[in-house]
Amino acid sequence: MGTLLKDKVALVTGSGRGIGRGIALLLAEEGAKVVVNDLGGAVDGSGDSATPADEVVNEIKAAGGEAVANYDSVATMDGGENIVKTALDNFGKLDIVVAVAGILRDRMLFNMTEEEWDAVIAVHLKGTFTVAKAASIVFRQQRSGRIINFSSTSGLYGNSGQANYGAAKDGIAGFTRAVERDLGRYGVTVKSISQAADSRMTQTVPQSARDIRAASGITAQSAVAPLELNRAPEDVAPMVAWLASDEAKDVNGHVFHCQGGQISLMSNPTEERTLRKNGRWTVEEIDAMFAGTLGMDMANPAPPQTPCLLYTSPSPRDGLLSRMPSSA
């Protein structure tokens, strides 16, 4: 057992499987007492089961650590409060929040339903808020705490078929930058991880969707060099453990990308080029100036595609209909 997080209490949402599981196990290995939160549902958020959280708790205890399970949904205010209360009731305090819980409802925008949009926003974006809100009250009073949120390159760069997921994840990056300003004065730091790792969620993206994205030239940009990097979910955990420690007390409001053996510091949005004049620009002036200034070297990441004409052979029913007399 390590000592980096000795005497700390951590809660990790969505830690029954995948990335969250790897984080919970490593935090416990480094000495933290851990609340393992997981609703135990399917990738799309349906259903529930106590088994995933219980299994991780048993793993931690078998290795000599301390852990307790929680099965609340992060998508409600009551759920977020109950997750934090589980830490306080069982361990008497809370030092670290890691918000990993998430679901997928991938769909092209023109096919996406309101329910698919709302469900993903509720778990990712609202779910990050519900737990952070409840924890912030505790952290403010004790004047210390660590909050580590999870963004994604789908939010930072965009990815076809993930308008709901991308909006939530980019929102989490913005949430991180705002909340660090709310809580920094109280000794609380807030940061975000953008990860690339294989999990149940990535495995549900159908090959047909991958093929469409590739054929259309629409792919999520990579924050890493074009290397053959490992994508094991456990690879994200060491950076999270370090950010949760006292050693990272001055790291606040930043977004890091983790994949295999590579960790990247992501830049905040900055101005690339600026046009200035005294007074208001006219439409004609903008049209004349744009291409050689703001628009210089600007490329369309998703240019129009030539429609594919699909040929389908006539069915027997087509022939039958052609022989039927038309009605008057």
Digit-coded pLDDT (tens) for 114-168 = 999 999 999 999 999 999 999 999 999 999 999 999 999 888 888 889 999 999 9
Is the residue at 139 inside a domain? yes
Is the residue at 304 inside a domain? no
Extended beta strands in the chain, E state: 9-13, 33-37, 67-70, 96-99, 145-151, 188-195, 255-259, 262-266
Query: Which amino acid type is present at position 194?
Result: S
Is the residue at 276 inside a domain? no
CA–CA dist 40, 17 (Å, integer) = 9
Does residue 157 have an active-site annotation? Answer: no
Average pLDDT along the chain: 88
Q: Residue 196 contacts by C-beta under 8 Å, 6 or more apart in sequence?
A: 153, 222, 223, 224, 229, 231, 257, 258, 259
**Domain CATH code at residue 216:** 3.40.50.720
- Domain enclosing residue 110, as ranges: 9-266
Taking 90 as the threshold, does the pLDDT of residue 10 lie above it?
yes
The residue-averaged pLDDT of 204-230 equals 49
Which residue is catalytic, options 157, 165, 186, 311? Answer: 165
Is the residue at 48 inside a domain? yes
Is the residue at 318 inside a domain? no
Is the residue at 112 inside a domain? yes
> Rounded to 5, what percent of the chain is helix, strand, coil?
45, 15, 45
Report how many domains make up the chain. 1
Is the residue at 282 inside a domain? no
DSSP string across 222-242: PSS-SS-----GGGGHHHHHH
Taking 60 as the threshold, does the pLDDT of residue 101 lie above it?
yes
Query: Which amino acid type is present at position 7?
Result: D
Is the residue at 299 inside a domain? no
